[in-house]
């Protein structure tokens, strides 16, 4: 297994990204990346929400795509906005399910929708990026 260290963005908005295996266990690494970035930027009060969102996005990629690797990116495109993105090489786009009331799964994107200011996906020739934007709470 090849892994890379998180790398800061060299230009543009502050950001960090890391490539990791496309497997459920990578959600832990993604949460650590998000937590480290938000604490570095002095917005640790957003960690709980952001780590929940990245867990859902990584989990969806691991569960619904046959990809070997995924890339997690966190950036701060505006002073009061954080963007979390998960990129994989599958062109299958996310679909918000309507699970039965007693279903134990299928609510991940609903949760992302509720917690995000906005979310969506960008298609690429070679795959897609699913992203969520969160509002930084003011104290």
Domain assignment of residue 1, yes or no = no
Residue 131, domain extent = 12-135
pLDDT band at residue 73 under the 50/70/90 scheme: very high
Look at the chain and report how many structural domains it folds into: 1
Record the pTM.
0.86
Q: For residues 43 and 93, is the Cβ–Cβ distance under 8 A?
A: no
Predicted pLDDT of residue 6: 58
Domain assignment of residue 7, yes or no = no
Per-residue model confidence as pLDDT tens digits over 34-46: 999 999 999 999 9
What CATH number has the domain bearing residue 23? 3.30.565.10
- Phi/psi at 114 (5° precision): -70, -40
- Phi/psi at 115 (5° precision): -85, -20
Domain assignment of residue 48, yes or no = yes
User: Has residue 32 got a pLDDT over 80?
Assistant: yes
Predicted pLDDT of residue 1: 42
Cα(49)–Cα(115) distance, rounded to whole angstroms? Answer: 7
Cα(98)–Cα(23) distance, rounded to whole angstroms? Answer: 24
pLDDT band at residue 137 under the 50/70/90 scheme: confident
Q: For residues 59 and 31, is the Cβ–Cβ distance under 8 A?
A: no
CA dihedral (50, 35, 106, 85) in degrees, to 10, reads: 70
Domain assignment of residue 105, yes or no = yes
């Amino acid at each position: 297994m090849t892994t890379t260290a998180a790398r800061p963005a060299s230009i543009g908005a502050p950001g960090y990204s890391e490539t990791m295996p496309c497997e459920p266990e990578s959600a832990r690494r993604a949460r650590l990346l998000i937590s480290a970035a938000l604490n570095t930027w002095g917005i640790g009060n957003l960690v709980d929400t952001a780590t929940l969102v990245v867990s859902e996005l990584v989990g969806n990629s691991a569960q619904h795509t046959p990809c070997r690797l995924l890339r997690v990116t966190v950036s701060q495109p505006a002073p009061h906005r954080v963007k979390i993105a998960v990129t994989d090489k599958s062109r299958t786009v996310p679909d918000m399910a309507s699970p039965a009331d007693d279903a134990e799964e299928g609510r991940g994107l609903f949760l992302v929708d509720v917690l995000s200011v906005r979310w969506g996906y960008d298609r690429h020739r070679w795959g897609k990026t699913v992203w969520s934007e969160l509002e930084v709470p003011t104290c």
